[in-house]
């Protein structure tokens, strides 16, 4: 499953996320207390067309840039619970319920790209 974020100010400006990254970043956004919990939950369902306005998009982008990126060196990943590891993602799919959280993480470069998208967008809609 994937998510495509469409900039509300430009038809050709998009950001694509896979479920492995998207689930992790939504937990980080929820912890930033920028959007309501209900809105973050809606953002977790693809093809819903949830909109994030320009002010919220820019706030998300700046908080990611200022608070999350400093915790992530280019060779590190962050899990949905905010813990950071330097172990690379080896593509293992964890099926055991106690280990499924290991499937979802974000890297420095991914967060930087998403933050840049948020800051340059005029708000976005998620499909």
Q: What is the pLDDT of residues 2-27, one digit of tens each?
A: 999 999 998 889 999 999 999 999 99
d(CA 121, CA 21): 19
Please provide residue 80's backbone torsions phi and psi, each rounded to the nearest 5 degrees.
-60, -25
Each domain of the chain, given as residue ranges in start order, spans 2-126
Say if pTM beats, i.e. exceeds, 0.75.
Answer: yes
Helix, strand, or coil (residue 14): strand
From residue 39, alpha-carbon distances to 11, 36, 51, 78 in Å are 23, 5, 9, 22
Tokens of 57: 């998009």
Q: Are 46 and 3 in contact (CB under 8 A)?
A: yes
Looking at residue 18, what is its pLDDT?
95
């Amino acid at each position: 499953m994937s998510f495509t974020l469409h900039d509300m100010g430009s038809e050709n400006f998009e950001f694509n996320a896979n479920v492995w990254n998207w689930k992790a970043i939504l937990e980080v956004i929820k912890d930033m207390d920028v959007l309501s919990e209900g809105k973050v939950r809606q953002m977790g369902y693809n093809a819903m067309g949830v909109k994030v306005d320009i002010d919220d998009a820019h706030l998300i982008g700046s908080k990611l840039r200022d608070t999350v990126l400093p915790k992530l060196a280019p060779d590190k990943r962050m899990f949905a619970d905010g813990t950071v590891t330097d172990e690379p993602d080896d593509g293992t799919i964890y099926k055991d319920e106690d280990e499924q959280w290991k499937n979802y993480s974000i890297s420095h470069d991914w967060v930087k790209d998403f933050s840049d998208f948020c800051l340059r967008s005029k708000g976005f809609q998620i499909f």
